[in-house]
Amino acid sequence: GAGVSQSPRYKVAKRGQDVALRCDPISGHVSLFWYQQALGQGPEFLTYFQNEAQLDKSGLPSDRFFAERPEGSVSTLKIQRTQQEDSAVYLCASSLAIPGSVNYGYTFGSGTRLTVV
């Protein structure tokens, strides 16, 4: 597709439930990022993939968060045993190049709004 696609658009989970959020990046984009955005705040970095390799997962807030990109295209962010503080918009972004190598910005998806009740 022409843009980064995320699904579902909205997700309501009961506390303790596991959720899986999907990201379809732009075809051929090497870099893929996950960000978490709380209400009224800027996005916070979660993790970075270069093709299928997860090169930076320093932003994942706990071991309940897990991300994968097994074939270097689609990525899934999984949150186990969801807590109320996990409620946020989860944004995926992709880029044609490695960060800093060229003058490309990132293309963001519209995000998944997760509400934990």
Q: Please, which residue, 27 or 103, has the CB nearer to other proteins?
A: 103
d(CA 75, CA 42): 22
Can you tell me which residue has the tokens 């293309």? 107
Tell me: does residue 58 bind other proteins (CB under 8 A).
yes
Give the span between the Cα atoms of 109 and 117, in whole angstroms. Answer: 24
Q: Which of 12, 55, 97, 117 binds other proteins (CB under 8 A)?
A: 55
Q: What is the DSSP string of 17-81?
A: --EEEEEE--TT--EEEEEEE-TTS--EEEEEEETTEEEE-TT--STTEEEE-TTSS-EEEEESS
Residues 62-91 that bind other proteins (CB under 8 A): 91
Query: Is 48 a residue that touches other proteins (CB under 8 A)?
Result: yes
Q: Which is nearer to other proteins, 16 or 61 (CB)?
A: 61
Choose one: 21-29, 47-55, 67-75, 79-87; the region binding other proteins (CB under 8 A): 47-55
Interface residues with other proteins (CB under 8 A) are 4, 31, 33, 35, 40-45, 48, 50, 55-56, 58-59, 91, 93, 99-100, 103-111
